Amino acid sequence: MKHYCPYCNSEQDYYIDKRIFKEYKGVNVNVVENVPICKKCGNELIINNIEDENLKRVYNKYREIKNIITPSEIIALRNKYNISQRELTAILGFGKMTINRYENGFLPSKSQSDYLRLIFKDECEFLNKVNEAYVANRISRKTFSKIENAINGGQSIYEHDNNYELKLYIESELKTSPNVFNGFKVLDLDKLQNLISYIASKVKLYLTSLNKYLWFIDMISYNKRAVSITGLTYVHEQYGPVIINRKYEEISKLNEKYKREDKEKNDGSIQSVITSKGNYDLSSFSNKEIEIIDYVVELLSNKSVKEISNLSHKELGWKNTERFEKISFEYADNLTILNS
Ligand SMILES: [Zn+2]
């Protein structure tokens, strides 16, 4: 066996000296370490594949002692759900090459190992992680469905909740980090649904007016507390402020807490009405928030769609913005509606 010897500066024969590698990260591993020695000068040589094998023996022993997940366990996890290394890495939110390295024998930390074992055992936990990755756009819809099908055998566990996909979609479209356009609040979809159900239980609620109810509630909340209630972003449209990208369409189709009905009017136009199912839960609202909501509900309850639209047109947030422009919550400092 020959290898380049840097001391002799030439190819030289070498032999293997077997030694015992005693300790790794404070654990007594006591594994054989093969050390190549130049036959001519007697110096230790560094030969990559021998080094790798030494390291793997150390890792394997350490893994055994510390009960760390093995490469074959990780491969089995991927095979179970038919996912690639890249997909698993994205689901877990690990660094790009992490799973690849673990499968090639590198050691995960004890906590990562424990976590991998947990999701291997607990499908619900794994599915939660998959959902998270999907909502955060780390994995595709296709990957998401593939795993969900593998776990539920084509039967979605969310089947009882046909709002599930819609909610994921709305959140992916509307959830933004706190900023001046969402009133420094991250969208809370559960809260929003309860709020809509509550308003609809008090007034005859048309879809067009819903936008203004929510906008006034959020603006007043911002005026009083420097934070909005729903976390929605609104834009200037012809008849007043509306939820950005017209996502009130999707929001109105969520049907756990309320029901949307489209009725054709005599002139052929469609009027959408939202009816409460009465099962709203206000426990996540503070007293101050409910006070603001009730104030807006009472103020607008006896007004027509047109009158509510006109009220919104008096506000600076509408006057000082152009069509399709996002409306900053800074305009909440001066609200005409508070003086009416
Ligand atoms: Zn040598």
Handedness of CA 299, 304, 305, 309 (dihedral sign): negative
Measured in Å, residue 304 CA sits from the centre of ligand 1 at 95
How many domains would you assign to the chain?
3
- Shared domain for 223 and 291, answered yes or no, is yes
Same domain (yes/no): 333, 231: yes
164 domain residue, yes or no:
no
* Dist. CA 193–CA 196, nearest whole Å: 5
Q: What residues are paired with 236 via a beta bridge?
A: 241
Of 198, 203, 192, 195, the C-alpha closest to 166 is: 192
Q: Do residues 102 and 74 touch, judged by C-beta distance below 8 A? A: yes
CA-CA-CA-CA torsion for 164, 165, 166, 172, nearest 10 degrees? 110
pLDDT in tens, 21-38: 999 989 999 999 999 999
One-letter amino acid identity for 237?
Answer: E
88 in the same domain as 59: no
Q: How far is the CA of 21 from the centre of ligand 1 (A)?
A: 23
Question: Which CATH number do you get for residue 120?
Answer: 1.10.260
Task: Based on the fold, state whether residues 183 and 322 are members of the same structural domain.
Answer: yes
Q: How far is the CA of 44 from the centre of ligand 1 (A)?
A: 8
Q: At what angle do helices 123-135 and 110-121 cross, to 10 degrees?
A: 110
Bridge partners, residue 12, by sequence:
3
The answer to whether residues 227 and 307 belong to one domain is yes
Cα(15) to ligand 1 centroid in Å equals: 11
The token duo for 133 is 């990755």
Q: Which one of 66, 91, 107 terminates a domain?
A: 66
Instruction: Mark whether 61 and 13 lie in a shared domain.
Output: yes
Residue 166 lies in a domain: no
Tell me, what's the pLDDT at 62? Answer: 93
What is the domain range of residue 88? 71-152
User: Which residues are near ligand 1, the ion (C-beta closer than 5 Å)?
Assistant: 5, 7-8, 12, 38, 40-41
Identify whether residues 144 and 186 lie together within a single domain: no
- Domain shared by 140 and 32, yes or no: no
Give the distance (Å) from ligand 1 centre to CA of residue 64.
Answer: 37
Partner residues linked to 263 by β-bridges: 271
Is the same domain home to 184 and 142?
no
Query: pLDDT 10s digit of each residue in the chain, 340 long?
Result: 899 999 999 999 999 999 999 999 899 999 999 999 999 999 999 999 999 999 989 999 999 999 999 998 999 888 888 899 999 999 998 888 899 999 988 899 888 899 888 888 888 888 888 988 988 889 988 888 888 888 876 554 444 456 777 888 899 889 999 999 999 999 999 999 999 999 999 999 999 999 999 999 999 999 999 999 999 999 999 889 999 999 999 999 998 899 999 888 888 788 899 999 999 999 999 999 999 999 999 999 999 999 999 999 999 999 999 999 999 999 999 999 998 6
How much is the pLDDT for 50?
94
Is 159 part of a structural domain of the chain?
no
Q: Are residues 294 and 243 both part of a single domain?
A: yes
Best CA proximity match to 304, nearest among 177, 180, 206: 206
Same domain assignment for residues 206 and 88: no
